[in-house]
Chains A and B, each alone.
Chain A
Amino acid sequence: MITLDDGYIRMAEPDDARALWRLYYDGHLRASLLDTLYERMLPTVDELHEMLGRAEITQGNLFAIEDISGEVVGFCNLRGMTKASVVGDFMLMFHDPAQFHTPLADSIHQFTWERSFEMAQRKRIHAPCLRCEEAFRAYLLRHGFESVGVQREVLHAQGAWQDLETFSLESPLWQATD
């Protein structure tokens, strides 16, 4: 477990299944919870419990974020490199979108930076974000991410077509050794 400003971050574990499940059912659309076909999933707590028990899913990839009281308030996902390049994926979800504006969220950016660029030496990280995820979008822009484009009408949810924007953050460390 790593101590952050106003909270903690640690690898997710099966006991976090209920907290993760809540994210799927709270009525907010999140790009981070779409599958590879950009489809929404409705997992059961049991399925999430089983998924969180698989080391390849959680270890070094999926992290639970706790506030200072120890309650899980969100999750951070840092997925591995693509096959032919060195690009990682970054995802951040909070139960309460207002959390994106807190020092805890800012310190997760520092955590992401260190793990992605210093430890894993990625060239860049990408963050998918639905256009309706305004708080997450503002968070990404505040931390230096730049939009690389919008895929229009990729998801049909809540009775409407949704656009998916991809953000990118370059590693200055990589550029120095390129």
Chain B
Amino acid sequence: MRLADFGTTWTKWYDTETKSYGVVRTSEVDFRAAVGTGHNIRSRADRMINELVALAEGGLKRIPEPDFVLVDVGSREIKYVRFENRRLKEMNWSTSCAALTGFTLELLGSYFRLDFDHIRPAKQSVPVTCGVLGMEQIFELVGSGVSEADAVARFTRGLAENALRFSGNPEHLYLSGGMTSNALFCKSFPLGVEVISLGRFVLVEGLMSGEGVIDAGCP
């Protein structure tokens, strides 16, 4: 049985028979899932679970603490759930405040030919509320003499601060979604904030019904 999270850019899947998992461009998906979630699910799954439910269920599977905040940052949107005593206390999903965050970073990375594994996190941030507005500021910075890598690092820190604000400024947060594959983003949260990355399969895991745990963390 295949479980899949059909994201805006990437589809994450898990095969319960072979115990294997993988990532494929959503535009290249050539399979149908038994259970699915995600922005681009359309008619690609026999059964659909909504993304917040999948995220929350995945968080409950992966995180042992009674109280936790889990934030999922993907290509296009940001979602979070807050549990107290293993009981859902708060949640939110924004497609506008975090619009195109991961997607914008991918574009910038390939445009400037940047390797996110080797960019030093910025101490300053560009105050961004969405990828498109932030991109304009990057080109302003580059035009004023800041290096391309540093401009993108400031932008990335702005995205991280935005994700933190959106989830209520917790001191400890679990991070999931495609952006956990971006080392610069993972390191761009302000000092004093403990970020624990769970990788990009948390939603897929939320689709399982006690069938095991996928171990895939941050780079």
- The answer on A and B forming one complex is no
- Which chain A residues have a beta carbon within 8 Å of chain B's beta carbons? none
Interface residues of B (CB under 8 A from A): none
